[in-house]
Amino acid sequence: MSATATSTAASAVPHRKRSVVRALLRLWPYVRPARGRVFSAAGVAIVAASMGLVMPLVLKWMVDGPVADGDTNGVWWGGLVLLLVGLTEAALFGLRRWLVARPLARVEANMRDAIYRHLQRLPVTFHDRWPTGQLLSRATGDLQLLRMFLAFGLTFLIVNSTTILIGFGVLLVQDWTLGLVLVLPVVPLIVLCALFERRFSLVARRAQDQMGDLTTVVEESILGIRIIKGFGRHRSQARAFRVLSGELRDTELYKARLLAGIWLVILALPELFLGTALVLGVSQVADGELTAGTLVAFMATAMVLRWPVESMGFLLALCNEAATATDRYFEVLDTEIPDEPTPAAPAAGEGGTPGDGIRLTNVVFHYPDAPPGSPPVLDGVTLHVRTGETMALVGATGSGKTTLLALLPRLHEVTSGRITLDGVDTATLSRAEVRARIAVAFEEPTLFSASVAENVLMGAEGADEAELARALRVSQADGFVRALPDGLETEVGEQGLSLSGGQRQRLALARAVIGKPRFLVLDDPLSALDVHTEARVEAALREVLADTTALVVAHRPSTVQLADRVALLSDGRVAAVGTHTELLRDNAEYRRLMTGESQLSRGRDAESDGGSLTAPSRTA
């Protein structure tokens, strides 16, 4: 079921050699504002670690000195020093956390903001390809992981590497032959860790992607709950869930096996060499080449290094997961937002032919990810909607009506051809500008989590109360809105009250007509209304349409009657343009679509091929 998700994720991974360091370095711009604190925290951690080493020395000094000598003053002084060291240590521990707590929470939030902003601006085709769950897991789980890495992983990577380096220096100074014995396993350790890293990163990546897929299945089963309930249960969805969560578990177990392997190496290998050093040391002591005290000190130092070395396994895994999370994050962020053709935009915006209406010239549209060679959805559409005119767009299911409408507000970009609004090519305008000029109501009305008023006012910035009331009246929504618990202020959408399809559609229509847009694009705007409401909405809508340039997808004669003229879309082209009556009379396909009569076989007939664009004059 989720083959899409996996393949999306997989195809998004470029085939370059993956590097943990390179991946993590990409975080720098986000960490930069917090860099001072992050590195200070590492510094503080190093000092705190040294404090931890001072403590035993003070204790030893105190017991061996003042306590043994019965020096009361010395004991008090010792106690005071002990207390001070302890308090300093506590303060340093706190300081380290305090330094990074809020800045890193901020880094996480900033990154989340960035991905959200970016996603909002990525084209619709991107969203068609990427399941929400995958995006969501990148914006939440992956970012939390990154914060943890920055707060602990990075700090301790620095602290522990420093400790290990210093520790080895001390060991070599104490006894360089024994020290060398301990240095020996470093090379195989690094090699093994590198091998481990490569394998582990693949698995970590797989686990995170599977998590995304699982999130997608969960999301769909929740969004499609009505269908699932209607049919009892969705077995393939349940199976997909079971399979995916099982796969995720298996991947996690495999990760654990890899981890177990590297832990075995990290724990046992240094210890084996330490054992060798001990045996060698003991024989050196026996031979008098080494004092027992030096050997003890050597072993003690080596054992202090145990935790830093061991922690490397854990830190490596964390690094890896963080690198994977970074990759996943940047896969989304690296997807480019199509350029805004802003050059000379103001000039272009000013120019044009006022009163030219909407003009489509030879518009071809091909989904960017459609297989090469497949026929375009729209194949040379040429259409002119005159200013103030309402044009109905009629066509069989799948003829590309909805796609055509999506091209107007540039939800999709034309593959070739031009769309002009009052003579201005929409491609020369910024998307925001195009969308500001065109108001849309979609077939599936989506309301946002906001009040009714806010939802409607989204259609026009700065519209006033009177405008709002008018828009609600046009869409015949004023009645039911008044009956809502908080009237206009009632919260609707995902977080609010659920409204019926018809109610949502009426609000979506109000959103489209508010603020008297110059251009209006409606996709079957009355489909969810009952006949009576539909008749009332139609009457009110007629007034709005009287002085608006509109393109309306229509399925029924009643909707078509809102329009001055009708364009018939067939096989990705405009097959005929004319009034409803004319087309009914002259065009078999139109007749079939509108009345269901099918005395003629399907297909374009002679009259719809030629001369259809030189539309007959407008009849009222």
Residues of this chain, 468-507, that bind another protein according to CB under 8 A: 480, 483-485, 490-491, 493-498, 500-503
**Residue 361, strand partner residues:** 418
Query: Nearest distance from residue 530's CB to another protein, in Å?
Result: 6
Listed ranges 34-42, 350-358, 369-377, 541-549: which one lies at the site for another protein (CB under 8 A): 369-377
Residues 247-286, interacting with another protein (CB under 8 A): 249, 252-253, 255-257, 259-261, 263-269, 271-272, 274-275, 278-279, 282-283, 285-286
- The 189-208 site mask, x for binding another protein (CB under 8 A), equals --------------------
CB of 236 to another protein, least distance (A): 6
Please give the Cα distance from 241 to 245 (Å, whole number): 6
Which part of the chain contacts another protein (CB under 8 A), choosing from 13-21, 244-252, 320-328, 415-423?
A: 244-252
| Site membership for another protein, residue 374 (CB under 8 A) | yes
- Closer to another protein by Cβ: residue 20 or 520: 520
Specify whether the backbone of 503 is left (phi greater than 0), alpha (psi in -120 to 50) or beta. Answer: alpha
Rounded Cα distance, 78 and 61, in Å: 8
Q: What is the smallest separation between the CB atom of 569 and another protein, expressed in angstroms?
A: 11
Q: How far is CA 520 from CA 386, 534, 604, in A?
A: 12, 19, 29
Using CB under 8 A as the binding rule, the residues of this chain from 505 to 544 that contact another protein are: 511, 524, 527-532, 534-535
Residues 436-475 close enough to bind another protein by CB under 8 A: 436, 438, 440, 442-444, 446, 448-450, 454, 458-459
Least Cα distance to 375 among 384, 365, 383, 385 occurs for 365
* Distances in whole angstroms, Cα of residue 593 to Cα of each of 392, 393, 405, 599, 601: 13, 12, 19, 12, 12
What is the residue whose two structure tokens read 């709950």? 225
Q: Which of residues 392-431 bind another protein (CB under 8 A)?
A: 394-398, 402, 406, 409, 411, 431
Query: Rounded to whole angstroms, how far apart are CA atoms 528 and 502?
Result: 5
Q: Which of 616, 563, 557 is nearest to 586 (CA)?
A: 616
Smallest distance from another protein to CB 381, Å: 17
Least distance (Å) from another protein to the CB of residue 342?
16
**CB 97 to another protein: min, Å:** 4
Examine residue 337 and tell whether it contacts another protein (CB under 8 A): no
Between 10 and 303, whose beta carbon lies closer to another protein? 303
Q: For residues 79 and 110, is the Cβ–Cβ distance under 8 A? A: no
Q: Does 76 sit near another protein (CB under 8 A)?
A: yes
Distances in whole angstroms, Cα of residue 167 to Cα of each of 179, 297, 299, 596? 10, 12, 11, 88
Q: Which of residues 5-64 bind another protein (CB under 8 A)?
A: 5, 55-56, 59-60, 62-64
In whole angstroms, how close is the CB of 171 to another protein at the nearest point? 15
State in angstroms the smallest separation of the CB of 370 from another protein: 7
Q: Is 106 an interacting residue with respect to another protein (CB under 8 A)?
A: yes
User: DSSP assignment of 541-575, as one string?
Assistant: HHHHHHTSEEEEE-SSHHHHTT-SEEEEEETTEEE
Helix (H, G, I), strand (E, B) or coil at 491: strand
Amino acid at 236: S
- Least distance CB 120 / another protein (angstroms): 5
Sort 525 into a burial class: Cβ within 10 Å, 0-12 / 13-18 / 19+: buried
- Angle at the Cα of 285 from the Cα atoms of 283 and 290, rounded to 5 degrees: 125
Both tokens of 170, joined, read: 């001390």
Q: Do the strands 519-523 and 549-553 form a parallel or antiparallel pair, or are they unpaired?
A: parallel
Number of residues that bind another protein (CB under 8 A): 191
d(CA 556, CA 544): 20
Query: Contact region for another protein (CB under 8 A) — 37-45, 153-161, 433-441, 541-549?
Result: 433-441
Site for another protein in 113-132 (CB under 8 A): 113, 116-117, 119-121, 124, 127-132
Phi/psi of residue 443, nearest 5 degrees: -60, -45
Taking the least distance from each CB to another protein, the nearer of 343 and 596 is 596
Query: Does 221 help bind another protein (rule: CB under 8 A)?
Result: yes
> Which structure tokens are listed for 39?
């590195």
Instruction: Out of 180, 370, 546, 600, point to the residue binding another protein (CB under 8 A).
Output: 370
Q: Which of 40, 43, 50, 67 binds another protein (CB under 8 A)?
A: 67
Give me the least distance between CB of 465 and another protein, in Å please.
Answer: 19
Q: Contact between 144 and another protein (CB under 8 A)?
A: yes
Subset of 555-614 contacting another protein (CB under 8 A): 555-558, 561, 592-596, 598
